[in-house]
């Protein structure tokens, strides 16, 4: 019998790619999502790619009663991946209470719900973030790098959620793995799923592709006076399909009972720092496109530079990123082109 994985936020950008990975590997998947930044239409596309359909439950995990109701009727789950959260750094600086309420309450309600199951799950994978490191004093960051003051409310919610999960390990009764992933970009090779945020993009790549497609007048690069080679922020960009594979690998580690500790942490990145300007130039070069862009002021919550030490993920988790910057920018543009060919918004498409 196939193992059943619950994926909260499974209709979102990273969640949808991870669901494809799990389904393609023979797992059954139940998606919990409130579609605040996604669409139920994505389920058809996940099914087309994987050749197998996930189950779908529309639920807001920050709603305690609704979450309790779901878990009271859930017969069996083998493991859980928790993606569901608001995730835009800039927006969190403007609306911190929105982020505290959603990200913290949803995690608390999920953990309490899992305690209700008659048979404990074999483990939980928490999708954390490199934002938990704040602005690190030394690079690259390792899993033992101390958490500095978070640069945004979003980053703070990830710090708090990690601490809640860690300190609750003995109470909840199953092992957990926190994946501190860096900056996901790119799209599935099929161009059937990719990053398509509601409203104005907060992340770099969809802003690049929408500008290239003529949906945005110009790209704004937030700050070129940082202490970096070209003055723009440096990030560890990782292809979303590599990230999806990391979540599968973590789930398998839990199900196979290979964890060394009740709470494990792994950095998920490429180990290479790429500046914002380098990413813009790579997109232009690989896709033969000239992007209109302007330099704007620094943005609240942005860290100057951060990239990962990935040795622990490679040696203990058995995972390593395979796709490079060319794969990232090429797949992202192919995804945007698929939206242009549809001649309408992905989320409003009647064909889905």
- Residue-wise pLDDT for 103-150, tens only, equals 999 999 999 999 999 899 999 999 999 999 998 989 999 999 999 999
CB 303 within 8 A of CB 151: yes
Report the Cα 35 to chain-centroid distance in Å: 15
Q: Average of pLDDT values for 216-230?
A: 95
* pLDDT in the model for residue 200: 79
- Whether the pTM exceeds 0.75: the reply is yes
Q: Torsions phi, psi of 239, nearest 5?
A: -65, 135
> Residues with Cβ < 8 Å from 18, sequence gap 6 or more?
7, 10, 81, 83, 243, 244, 247, 248
* pLDDT in the model for residue 70: 95
* pLDDT in the model for residue 342: 76
- Residue-wise pLDDT for 149-173, tens only, equals 999 999 999 999 999 999 998 898 9
DSSP-based three-state secondary structure for 104: helix
Q: Give me the catalytic one of 27, 99, 133, 154.
A: 154
- Distance from C-alpha of 304 to C-alpha of 70, rounded to nearest angstrom: 42
* pLDDT in the model for residue 350: 36
* pLDDT in the model for residue 340: 87
- For residue 320, CA distances in Å to 247, 255, 308 come to 12, 20, 12
* pLDDT in the model for residue 352: 40
* pLDDT in the model for residue 297: 96
pLDDT band with cut points at 50, 70 and 90 for residue 343: low
* pLDDT in the model for residue 311: 98
In this structure, how many other beta carbons lie within 10 angstroms of the beta carbon of residue 40? 14
* CATH (residue range 4-348): 3.40.50.720
pLDDT band with cut points at 50, 70 and 90 for residue 341: confident
* pLDDT in the model for residue 344: 53
Taking alpha carbons only, the member of 188, 206, 205, 197 closest to residue 244 is 188
* pLDDT in the model for residue 169: 84
In this predicted structure, the answer to whether residue 330 has a pLDDT above a threshold of 90 is yes
In this predicted structure, the answer to whether residue 95 has a pLDDT above a threshold of 60 is yes
Check the CA dihedral 104-105-109-110 and report its sign: negative
* pLDDT in the model for residue 199: 76
* pLDDT in the model for residue 351: 39
* pLDDT in the model for residue 348: 44
Please, how many CA atoms are within 13 Å of residue 273, restricted to the half-sphere of its CB? Answer: 18
- Distance from C-alpha of 163 to C-alpha of 150, rounded to nearest angstrom: 14
Q: Average of pLDDT values for 194-206?
A: 86
In this predicted structure, the answer to whether residue 22 has a pLDDT above a threshold of 90 is yes
Known catalytic residue at 154: yes
- Distance from C-alpha of 140 to C-alpha of 68, rounded to nearest angstrom: 41
Domain spans of the chain, in order of start: 4-348
Of the chain, the percentage scoring pLDDT greater than 90 comes to 84
In this predicted structure, the answer to whether residue 55 has a pLDDT above a threshold of 60 is yes
- For residue 318, CA distances in Å to 129, 185, 296, 311, 312 come to 19, 22, 41, 10, 9
């Amino acid at each position: 019998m196939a193992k059943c994985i619950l994926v909260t936020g499974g209709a979102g950008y990273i969640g949808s790619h991870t669901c494809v990975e799990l389904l393609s590997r023979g797992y059954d998947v139940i998606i919990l999502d409130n579609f605040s930044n996604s669409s139920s239409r994505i389920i058809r596309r996940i099914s087309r790619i994987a050749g197998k359909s996930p189950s779908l439950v529309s639920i807001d995990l920050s709603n305690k009663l609704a979450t309790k109701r779901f878990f009271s009727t859930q017969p069996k789950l083998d493991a859980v991946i928790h993606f569901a959260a608001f995730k835009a750094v800039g927006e969190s600086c403007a609306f911190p209470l929105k982020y505290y309420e959603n990200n913290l309450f949803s995690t608390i309600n999920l953990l309490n719900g899992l305690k209700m199951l008659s048979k404990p799950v074999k483990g939980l994978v928490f999708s954390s973030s490199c934002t938990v490191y704040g602005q690190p004093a030394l690079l690259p960051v390792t899993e033992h790098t101390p958490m500095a003051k978070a640069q945004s409310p979003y980053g703070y919610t990830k710090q708090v959620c990690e601490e809640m999960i860690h300190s609750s390990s003995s109470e909840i009764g199953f092992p957990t793995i926190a994946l501190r992933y860096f900056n996901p970009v790119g799209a599935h090779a099929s161009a059937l799923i990719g990053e398509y945020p509601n409203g104005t993009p907060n992340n770099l790549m969809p802003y690049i592709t929408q500008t290239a497609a003529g949906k945005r007048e110009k790209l704004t690069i937030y700050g070129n006076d940082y202490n970096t080679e070209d003055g723009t922020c440096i990030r560890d960009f990782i292809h979303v399909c590599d990230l999806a594979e990391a979540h599968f690998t973590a789930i398998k580690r839990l199900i196979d009972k290979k964890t060394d500790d009740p709470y494990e942490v792994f950095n998920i990145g490429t180990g290479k720092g790429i500046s914002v300007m380098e990413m813009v130039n790579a997109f232009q070069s690989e896709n033969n496109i000239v992007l209109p862009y302007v330099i704007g002021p620094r943005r609240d919550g942005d860290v100057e530079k951060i990239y990962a030490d990935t040795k622990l993920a490679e040696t203990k988790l058995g995972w390593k990123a395979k796709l490079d910057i060319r794969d990232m920018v090429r797949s992202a543009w192919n995804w945007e082109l698929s939206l242009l060919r549809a001649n309408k918004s992905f989320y409003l498409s009647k064909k889905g």
